[in-house]
Structure 1
Amino acid sequence: MSAPQLRSLSLGAGVQSTRLLLLAAEGHLPGLDVAIFADTGWEPRAVYEHLDRIEREIAEPAGIPILRVSSGNIREDALGPSKRFASMPLHILNPQGTEGLSRRQCTGQYKIRPIKEQVRQLLGYPHPQRVPAGVFVEQWIGISTDEVHRAKDADVAYMKNRFPLIELGFSRSDCVRLLRSRGLGSTPKSACLGCPYHGNSQWRQLRDGSPEEWQDVVEFDHAIRKGNARATAQGTPLLGQAYLHRSRRPLDQAPIDRVTAHEWSGRQGDIFDAIADAELENGDADGCSPWSCRSGAPVSAGFDLTA
């Protein structure tokens, strides 16, 4: 295979991608040209602060530019009747009492699409130009050994995915330990403030540690009860009711003080890593990234920018 035109890191600013940036900056993974952060416009304040810090303390001294890209503000788009909104995986309570989950398009629209657009720009072939055969970016993705099943090839020829953490045999716990040793033990999980895949731990952290952000998501949760504002304005409201919390109760009334198996394992130590994703409420693990949303749900098609 021919050599890549450049090497890019998909930077979610969470534990694994921060570890990759650090490895590159310290010369353990040479050849990184750029890091790309896809901003949904509704990231936690802690993520933006962490991103600023690693840019200032790690990326800039190493000569690695961090490019921030966006397809819009996911919160504003969801509540604006004139906006086209790529749906979030909201928890639905149907009139008959049955439960459902709305289709997840947000990762494709607000994470994957702007990264692909930026990659095309870097290669010199913006959409709709066709990228010539053999011209591609080697894209580093922060998936660790405990998530090896999420490592997949790119769906476009101009991007070749690489998973250095898996190549080096690093688990998420290994990443956390190294970040702690570098003074980055407070690296946050990367996910939108109002991500329906949040576990109770993240909801409690917002409520107890960031009242302003908690109020923001509570207001959003109330506002989306009938689903997408644009669909409602066009006369096609959601038949059931939408919620952010998997209990399908208003967020400020949801049972978020229930301790999960994930949290118990964290209190006991790394020996419990094998069960870290098991939650007592049978929910999905916390976290999100452009290429490996930890929900395990497939990204809806329509954002591939193929050619």
Structure 2
Amino acid sequence: MLSFGGGTQSTHLLEQHFRGEIHYDYIIFADTGAEPDFIHDQVWWWQHRQRQVGNTTPFLITQHSSMERGLEEMLMRYIYTDYQRFQMPVYCNSVNEDGEVKAGGMLPRQCTVDFKIVPVKQQARRMVMDQLGLGYRQKMPDNIGFITDIGFSYDEIRRINTYQSPQFKYMRMAYPLVEANETTEDSIRFLEQNGFPTRRSRCYLCPFNCATEQDIGMDWEEIIESEPFSFVKAVWFDAKLREVQATGTKIMRSIPYLHYSRRPLTEVFPEEIYLTNAYKTKLSQWLVEWQGYIADKWGAEVPAII
């Protein structure tokens, strides 16, 4: 199956599948709950292209098994409950015994595995078990194996840490673009030459969003310009995570930031502060809805919005 991200590299593989160059039994998009709308638009675009070319491979959309609303739910759960597991690679500052603040490291990038790769594996497993008439907790027959193609490119080879699925012994992972020595730029060039969408896949609050001058195709400015309310939400999460960390109730001892400069987003983009006022009502409505959801689902005593 193809772990489809809706961005550039995995769409390169998807188009190769449509052309008969790679075979897939399933195309699976795992919704992280925090993709920008333009990524969902690209997913729709590729679903439309699939119909145009007459490809009939099942194109499925799935999500995290217990946090169906994805990364936003994880963050809200972390903020409003005693949930301790933090699954994003935020930049950190550390405080030494003298109270001096120093630049620290970065938390592990667990979100890709937990909210993208694992849900794809689980969805594929469910599909096969259903076809075989087996219950979800029954044993997979010994004569069945899975290969999940991941769209990491050669310049991302450092992201590869295993070919064996830790979750299922009968699943393996493969990285066709790495094997072909294809880089991210190679995939983007392929898409451009064919007139296909080229926006990079990532979440709107991803710490790997960078400044435009770094020219890696992912930047905060694109979020600000394309989806200002998503940026307002990112500003809220950015500040709230440090507020929660300061209470001392979390395992996390470092001071977290979403921006690589290890500064609040409001300091990095002071000229965008007007957005907070422009979307104040919408943000309040969003928070009320989330707080009700977290309270109902996770039994949290959520404080009223101040």
Give the structure-1-normalised TM-score: 0.70
Equivalent position of 1:173 in the other structure: 185
Gaps of 5+ in 1: 1-7, 258-307
Q: What is the distance in 1 between the residues matched to 2:86 and 2:194?
A: 38
Q: What is the distance in 2 between the residues matched to 1:49 and 1:93?
A: 36
Give 1:35 shift. Answer: 0.6
- Residue of structure 2 aligned with 1:65, choices 53, 58, 61: 58
AA aligned opposite 1:97: V
SS of residue in 2 equivalent to 1:75: helix
Q: CA RMSD in A?
A: 2.9
Equivalent position of 1:106 in the other structure: 111
> C-alpha offsets along residues 40-59 of structure 1, whole Å, 9 cap, x if unaligned?
10111111110011111136
> C-alpha offsets along residues 43-91 of structure 1, whole Å, 9 cap, x if unaligned?
1111111001111113673112221111132113212324845431222
SS of residue in 2 equivalent to 1:135: coil
Give 1:238 shift. Answer: 4.6
Give 1:210 shift. Answer: 2.8
Contact residue 117 and residue 127 of structure 1 kept, 8 A: no
Q: What is the distance in 2 between the residues matched to 1:237 and 1:143?
A: 31
Equivalent position of 1:20 in the other structure: 13
- Residue of structure 2 aligned with 1:194, choices 194, 199, 205: 205
Contact residue 200 and residue 256 of structure 1 kept, 8 A: no
> C-alpha offsets along residues 133-174 of structure 1, whole Å, 9 cap, x if unaligned?
331122222233444454541224322323333454533333
- Residue of structure 2 aligned with 1:9, choices 2, 16, 29: 2
- Residue of structure 2 aligned with 1:131, choices 140, 161, 165: 140
Q: What is the distance in 2 between the residues matched to 1:35 and 1:254?
A: 38
Taking a change above 3 Å as real, the CA distance of residues 40 and 180 of structure 1, as seen in their structure-2 partners, is same
Q: Write out aligned runs for 1:172-251 (5 A).
A: 172-184=184-196, 186-201=197-212, 202-227=219-244, 235-236=249-250, 238-251=252-265
Q: Percent same amino acid at aligned positions? A: 30
The question of 1:154 aligning with 2:159 is answered no
Number of matched pairs: 245
The question of 1:97 aligning with 2:101 is answered yes
Contact residue 86 and residue 109 of structure 1 kept, 8 A: no
Gaps of 5+ in 2: 213-218, 272-306
Contact residue 224 and residue 231 of structure 2 kept, 8 A: yes
Taking a change above 3 Å as real, the CA distance of residues 180 and 256 of structure 1, as seen in their structure-2 partners, is farther
AA aligned opposite 1:188: R
SS of residue in 2 equivalent to 1:199: coil
Taking a change above 3 Å as real, the CA distance of residues 140 and 236 of structure 1, as seen in their structure-2 partners, is closer
The question of 1:39 aligning with 2:31 is answered yes
SS of residue in 2 equivalent to 1:27: coil
